[in-house]
Amino acid sequence: MHTVFKVFIGCLLPFVIYGQEKDYSQTIPGTDFVIDLVFIPPGQFNLGSSSSEYGHLDNESTVLDVTMPGFFISATEITFDQYLPFREKAFDTSEGATTDYNVDAITRPSPPYLDFTYGMGSRGGFPAVSMTQQAALRYCQWLYHKTGHFYRLPTEAEWEYACKANQTPPTSDDEIDAMAWYFDNSDDQYHLVGQKQPNAWGVFDMLGNVSEYTMDPYRSDRSDWNPSDPQTVQYPISGKHNRVVKGGAYDDDAATCRCAQRSPSLAKWQARDPQIPKSIWWNPDSPFVGFRIVRPMGTFTKEEIEAFFKTIIVD
């Protein structure tokens, strides 16, 4: 029997946020930092890949015809500059916040105990890396409280749809080279966001640079995945790890930097964390993983949004 784990609550009617479906920029209140968001139009696509696709892996073999509503996605990976206000002030409600929060010991990331960028860069537009998926979700929760708008991580279906952009997947290393930082051209380090060609919908760095978290728990076999619920996390959530990570990174080969590529986040990314229990915030050994955010279209009550975060965030 198919079981869908409902953690996304809301209306999927064609509601338009600003009166028109267009890209926009979100200023982070109290800062000079801006997150550019791209409108992804509704449509249909095939989730997964056939065995004939360049770089195909077995865990992509369940190909599903999925109908997607429109949504907004950040044009690039979230950068360290955009992440820093959360790390430093977390649930500070002094600027533009809509909800009061009781600040306690776990409402902001703990200070890094070593350079989790390993010298690759942390200011001026480099992707934020080495956080857990749960820290990325807490960033989304913080951004909601700062702006009043519902931001979250993409589902796997949203991520892959935005990546494919109604285009034929790359079929060679040369095609991927134009869009992605990967093993052959990256000098074994991530790069400033937005330097390679965007896809047809104007989204940068979905292939290569750093891999990106989605909300979904990872299963190698998606045969019971429900294509009618593309904005819903499909499987029960537990623990901090084993989430779907997409897109390939600077240290991957070209065949890994594809929209259908999928792999699990791993507990071993915290192997060098000396804390017991391990940090809810940091993965010392994943400088190749970051994230981007989405804003779903629809009407959402405060209660629905807070119930979503209560369900999706686990310690």
Ranges of the chain with pLDDT below 50: 1-5, 9-18, 101-106
Nearest CA to 294 out of 183, 162, 129 is that of 162
CA pair distance 284, 294, nearest whole angstrom: 25
> What is the Cβ-side half-sphere exposure of residue 215, based on CA atoms within 13 angstroms?
28
| pLDDT value, residue 15 | 39
| pLDDT value, residue 253 | 95
| pLDDT value, residue 315 | 72
| pLDDT value, residue 102 | 44
| pLDDT value, residue 240 | 86
Backbone dihedral region for residue 90 (phi beyond 0: left; psi -120 to 50: alpha; all else: beta):
left
| pLDDT value, residue 115 | 78
Three-state SS letters, the chain: CCCCCCCCCCCCCCCCCCCCCCCEEEECCCCCCEEEEEEECCEEEEECCCCCCCCCCHHHCCCEEEEECCEEEECCCCEHHHHHHHHHHCCCCCCCCCCCCCCCCCCCCCCCCCCCCCCCCCCCCCECCCECHHHHHHHHHHHHHHHCCCCECCCHHHHHHHHHCCCCCCCCHHHHHHHCCCCCCCCCCCCCCCCCCCCCCCCCCCCCCCEEEEEEECCCCCCCCCCCCCCCCCCCCCCCCCEEEECCCCCCCHHHCCCCCEEECCHHHHCCCCCCCCCCCECCCCCCEECCCEEECCCCCHHHHHHHHHHHCCC
Q: How far is CA 236 from the centre of its chain?
A: 19
* Domains of the chain and CATH, by start: 24-312 (3.90.1580.10)
